[in-house]
Structure 1
Amino acid sequence: MSAGLYNDNGSGAAVEQLQQAAAHDVAQEIALAVSIKHAEDNVGPETGNLSARQYTDDSQPTLQGAGTPNAIVKIYTERGLLGSVQVNENGEWRFTPEIALPPGVHRFRPVISHPDADNSLSGAWFELTVIAPVPLTPEIMDVRDNEGRSSWLNSGATTDDTTPTFTGFVDAPGMTILVRDHGKVTGSVEVEEYGDWTYTPNPALEAGSHSLTFEIIDSQGNVHASAPFILQITPPVSAQTAGADEQTDKIIEAAEAAAKAAAEQAAAVEAAAKAAAEQAAAAEAAASGSSASGEGSKLVPLTSQIPTIDSIHDGQGRQGLVAPGGTSDDTMPTLRGQGEPGATIVVRDLATGDSAEVKVDSEGWWAWKPVASLSEGEHIFTVVGIDENGDEYGDVSALFPINIVHPTDNGITSVTDDVGDTETLLAGAQTDDARPTLHGFGLPYGDIWIYDNGRLLGSGIINGKGEWSFTPEQPLSEGIHQFSAMSTDLFSGARTPSSPTFELEIVPVAVVPENINRRSLLQEADAPLFAEAEPALSTTQPAEPVGFVPASPSLLQTEEIVLPLY
């Protein structure tokens, strides 16, 4: 043993100190432990703690877990390291991703390490499915004028109803909607169980212009406000202001009496003139020996109200009014409009040629709903009235087109290859684009889920026309891929059956090595790589052979090889 381990007195104190230090290190080595207890959802109408394998609309959920105090926890997903956090002295830790996670399935695994531990330790996987957040902006579906002859109002309209009824929808049951008029809070309403809400101003709106907005404030303080709904209030003149005083009433009565007397006098003069004309006509007929007993046909001017289509209501999936030219997943939507009270009208679908008769009620309103589902595609509705003679009247040029998309429809229609020359591919094609863009259709405003060989690849949002596009975030492997799609209604949560598969083969990109001269290969494609020797041409006859002489006699000789013996 080296003498350096002893002190000046030659004792073994140094060795003893080293042994104590080693024992201390062994005592200080600790056992590691780590786990994810739950995740926090802080987005949308429903917030709180989530257990594993649940859905969340929070793209940055906060993971909470336990572990060895003062250790470092690294959070991994299937795509690599997401971040790290230190465990506090109580053995607790919290981690929130710095960037938003894309929609889809995410598996989180905690890995803990400590300076006093030789190895790190992995905890169990914690799986969450991130979905697109639910929009919290209240939608105004109908505004009803309840004064006099009731009607629907559009933004910018003028009404004499100081308490019109607003109805709408937002997927936030139980949350409170604040109502503002020119930015000032004037009321509130609670969202019902299925997302419906109804609001009637209280107190009544004053005469003048009003700009009403409906907003929800989420748990993070974000404001989700609707577009302003503009109304001009003009209340009817009350009976008390019709006359200023009794004298004014007397003047009005006197004027009305004078006008009535003048009208009676004029009627008497007209009657006398008519009698004289009839007498003259009779005399003329008698003189000519003819009779005026027959009556001519009478032309009755049209005074009936022209029927109209005011709205089409979608009662399936994402319910609400369908704008002209819009898309509906309700195959039996409700049409509403106005017409002459008690009249019969005809609703026609110019796209199919179908028609139906509807009776207008006593207040001048009518409603019609198809008895059978409408076919997929465009439908063009128009309406005309039927008079007492069976003749049609109305504005046949007033059309209301809509596009019907069946709620069970979803599928993949094509793929776009963006590598090299951009082209559109159909099922069964090959592509060298490892991240091709898929196109398809599904439930309008819903979610689309894309699967590759039965494994979830990702998700996206379908637009109002039922169209969607999806590009994988990571390159796909070479080989055949069987894609399928499934759409989910954003509000009811109903899912469509899986679509037919769309097959696509990913092939490698062809690469020409740089050390090969492509020009030479293309110019002489049929030329051999190695030129053959051409035989020498001779014009003389070869000499007749006289014998055979070996070119190398030594090749024909044999030698006896004697191996040395030892």
Structure 2
Amino acid sequence: MKLPNGQTHALPPVKIIVALPDLELKVTDHVGTDTGLLHNGDTTDDARVTLSGKGVPGATVRISEGIVGKYGSLTEYVRVDGEGNWSWTPEKPLSEGKHILSISSQGKNQIFELNVDTSSVVPEMSLNVTDNVGTETGVLANNATTDDSHPLLSGTAPAGSWVSIYDNGRWVSDTRTDASGNWSFRYLFLSEGEHVISGNVRLANGYSHKIPPVKINVALPDLELKVTDHVGTDTGLLHSGDTTDDACVTLSGKGVPGATVRISEGIVGKYGSLTEYVRVDGEGNWSWTPEKPLSEGKHFLSISSQGKNQIFELNVDTSSVVPEMSLNVTDNVGTETGSIANGGMTDDNRPVISGNTKPHTLVTIYDISHNALLGYANSDSNGHYEMQLPRLADGQHRIQVTFGRRGEAEQIDFTVNTRELMPNANIEAIFSVAENGELTAVNTGESLKSGELLFKGTALRESSIHVYDQGEMVGYARVNLDGEWQLSLKSLSEGEHTFSIRASGPGGKIQALPDITFEVHTLSAEPLVLLIDTDEAQLLIAAGQDTEVEVAMPNDLLPVSLADVLPQQPAELELKGAAVSDSGEQVASEAVYAAAEAIEPVIAEVPLYFSSGAELLPELYAAK
């Protein structure tokens, strides 16, 4: 020890002995029938043995392991608790074979030799066969009978392992378990009879284990097929080999509820042109009618489902079928609508023509009176056709409809007269359009800050809309085929506008709509600036042209004359509102004038409060 005066003296020595407790290591087996503490050099079937023991409280225990002859693949650290205990179990199983487990802490060491052999360990595995067809569904018990030839196979096994599936000893497929140890496989087809479904699990460590098998019996109901004729005088069920005049026969029958029926057909000597699928309902019934008629001649109709098959031979001959042909013309315009009688009159210059003929037949439509082809239509699977005619001129028309190649035809005469047809126009909405395109709904009489308007409305199709402003036409729109119109007016001038709107019908009939009035104000008003001369108590007004001024006065203003403070060359400003005296009484307002050119302000902007015989208090709005 060194003293402040520089002298040094030796302190008496203290002798201590450091005695650390031994580092204890125990290895425990948790798997199989033989569990508990292991001895150094033992063989274990537990690849995740627990290492534990005693140590210095708060100290760190280092754990490492390695296969004999190879570099250690593990280094972990664990803290000794306050009671001097520690414990560790590896998250990843130890590999098969010999391992040297070593621990060290506070200069102490322990080594433990261990042989891992899990070949005798049988993991948790399961195999389920699930029926999803018919009225009775669910997991099948061993030796159960099912009507599902596509059952779902599923089960459990260690995560990441492979499962091989066998049917009566024959390999079917391989599948892999997910991270949770689950696997599943949908069987493509099980034939009728007895099936023993088994599995083999291959673990990540290379060992294999068999899953207990499930024995089931597949018994499928017969697949029924009925073919029904709906056309002509001889209708009903057909027999295989029959001839029918119905090219759209109905196929129906019985099957396994929930199953799929595959339908195919082909002309003799040609490849089948049809493949369709239909689901059997919950009652076991199915039905199908082709949308496109079967072609003339022989057909083999075949169905299959759940391993069952049926074949039906059919000869299609529709030569004796005389289709019921019809022709209707429908008016959809004006107050009187509906079918147009032969020889009648209509105010609809685009009526709808419709009717019935043979399914999937080309319909050609002519206007014989004007020697014009109007268009084509195709009848649907029920033989119905429909088409809206192009615009017809006023006058008489003879419309002829020709069906298919044989040339059967129907005719109808009628007269088109649109001259008295009112346009029935309405204005649905009016919008003010801002510079950024934003629309704001407005009503007549309002003041607008935008110089663009958008009108939207409805009217009889092919009518026209004309808009006038002070007698001058400023806009025009044509009503579309949906009966809608819209019209935009741009660059409207400042001031008041009165719009007169006239609608003209297809025949020229005029309809006047109520006038629409708007006042357009698009110039931006700059704020007024007060200039206060506190020495002479004068009030000056600085403002640009076309500025609206709202004039008001606080109750505590004192009266003063403004006669000597107004500019020499005034421009009139609009005076809105009325002044109020300091007693609270309203006094008459007078017109106020300001310079045509703005006066350059010399102080900050302040609110404008003035009226006849009043001034602003200097102490409230003094110059800065």
With normalisation by structure 2, the TM-score equals 0.22
Q: Which has the higher contact order (CA 8 A, sep 6+)?
A: 1
Structure holding more strand per residue? 2
